[in-house]
Amino acid sequence: ILEDKEILSTEYKVQFDNKIEIEFDKKGNWKEVDAKTGKIPKSIIPKKIASYIKTNFPKEDVTKIELGSSGYETKLSNGLELKFNLKGDFIKIDK
């Protein structure tokens, strides 16, 4: 029997007044934080990733970060998307 994972999965989505949207998994861990046109608070971004972005893109803010099974994907205010592994090591830039 095949079952649709989407039906069985539980996730929560919260949108704040400042338009930041956060998706949580059923354990309460964030899966995605999207600031739309704003910037994501630095406290949410893993330190190693925040440090890499500050060093290499000092004028850019993180507008979105997503945690998947293979790592993190971040979007910067200049439109670049950076991929990191689960340890926070930089992998590549997507345009």
Instruction: Please report, for the chain, the start and end positions of each structural domain, with discontinuous segments joined by +.
Output: 5-94
pLDDT: which is higher, 17 or 83: 83
Instruction: Kindly tell me if the per-residue pLDDT of 70 is higher than 90.
Output: yes
Instruction: Kindly tell me if the per-residue pLDDT of 3 is higher than 90.
Output: no
Over residues 54-82, the mean pLDDT reads 96
pLDDT value at residue 72: 98
Mention the CATH class of domain 5-94.
Answer: alpha beta
Over residues 66-90, the mean pLDDT reads 96
Query: How far from 56 is each of 22, 50, 61, 71, 90, CA to CA, in Å?
Result: 26, 10, 12, 19, 11
Instruction: Report the alpha-carbon distance of residue 76 to residue 19 in Å, rounded.
Output: 17
CB 45 within 8 A of CB 57: no
User: What's the start-to-end Cα distance of the chain, in Å?
Assistant: 39
CB 77 within 8 A of CB 64: no
pLDDT value at residue 1: 45
Which tens digits make up the pLDDT trace of 4-63? 444 455 666 766 666 889 998 888 889 999 998 789 988 999 999 999 999 999 999 999
pLDDT: which is higher, 3 or 45: 45
